[in-house]
Amino acid sequence: MQRTQKIPLDERIIFALDFADPGEALAHVERLDGRIRFFKVGLQLFLAGGWPVVDHIVKRGNKVMLDLKLYDIPATVRLAVARFADRGISFATVHGYTPVVEAALAADSGVKILAVTVLTSMGNEEVSELNFQGTVEDLVVTRAKKVLAIGCDGLVCSAREAARLRRECGLDFAMVTPGIRPADTKTDDQKRVATPGRAIRDGADHLVIGRPIRDAEDPAVTITAIQQEISAVLHS
C-alpha cells in the first residue's frame, strides 16, 4: 500500500486524550511531544476544555483529530463543522450516515472529514438490533461505499474490516482505526480489536491508541515498540 508510506512515523499513532481534566490531557501532550505528533480530542475532553485544548496542541506543532462524532440534522451538522475552520484541525469525525456526511462536506471548513462507520464497541448482536441483514463487517462496508462515493475524506473503522475496505474501496481515502491493542494487553470495552502490525498490514493509515500507552509502566518504551512494529510492516 504505497500511499501509506508517505505518513511520518510519529503521526501514525493518534494518541487518545481520553481525560476529563484538561490539565492532565495537556500534561500528556507535553510528555509525549517529540514521540507522537497526532492527538485525538474526544467529546469528554472537548466539553471539559473546549477550544483552548485544541489550540494548545496545534500551537505546539502537533495535529488534532477532533472526535466529536457529530450526528444531527444536516443543517446543524453543516453549521457545526463550519466552526472548525481555521483552528488547525486535521481530522473531524461525523457519523457515517450519508446526509450527515454530505452536510459536513458542504461546510467546506478545510478540515478532512472522517465518517465513523460502526463503533468498535458494537458486535453482531448490536447490529442485528438495527434490523440490518448481515454482519458488522457488511454494515461497515455498505456505509463506507456510500460516504466515499460522495467525497468523504476517510473512515474511522475497526482494523478487522481494514483489509476488506481496501480491497473493495481502494487506496484513495484515509483510514483511521481505533480498538488497537498491542499483544498481551486487555481489550477493555472494545469488541473488534487488532494489533498495530495487523492494522497497518491490512491498510490502516493511523492507529488510535490510548490506554495501552497511558497505562504503560514506561510509555516511551511502549511507543517505541509500537512504532518499530509499524515500521517493520511498512518495510517488509
Domain with 25 in it: what CATH number?
A: 3.20.20.70
φ/ψ (deg, to 5) at 20: -85, -25
Average pLDDT, the chain: 89
- The answer to whether residue 80 scores a pLDDT higher than 60 is yes
Range with lowest mean pLDDT among 60-64, 120-124, 172-176, 188-192: 188-192
Catalytic positions, written as ranges: 69
Count of Cβ atoms closer than 10 Å to residue 183 Cβ? 10
Give residue for cell 461505499. Answer: 145
Query: In the prediction, which pLDDT does 117 show?
Result: 86
Q: What is the pLDDT of residues 141-154, one digit of tens each?
A: 999 999 999 999 99
Provide mean pLDDT across the span 90-116: 97
Residue 37 has pLDDT above 80, yes or no: yes
pLDDT-based confidence at 158, cuts 50/70/90?
confident
The pLDDT-based confidence of 136 (bands split at 50, 70, 90) is confident
Residue with cell 458488522: 136
Number of domains forming the structure of the chain: 1
The lowest-confidence range among 1-15, 47-61, 164-178, 213-227 is: 1-15
- Full domain range(s) for residue 159: 2-234
- Band of the pLDDT at 122, cuts 50, 70, 90? low
Please compute the mean of the pLDDT values over residues 90-107 and round it to a whole number. Answer: 96
| φ and ψ at residue 91, rounded to 5 degrees | -125, 145
Mean pLDDT, residues 179-192: 62
Lowest average pLDDT, out of 89-93, 120-124, 187-191, 222-226, goes to 187-191
> What per-residue confidence (pLDDT) applies to 51?
97
Find all residues with CB under 8 Å of 130, minimum gap 6, and list them. 139
Model pLDDT, residue 1 = 43
Most confident of 1-5, 97-101, 180-184: 97-101
pLDDT bucket at 137, cuts 50 / 70 / 90: confident
For residue 131, is pLDDT > 70?
no
| Cα-based distances in Å from 198 to 76, 110, 178, 216, 233 | 37, 31, 13, 21, 8
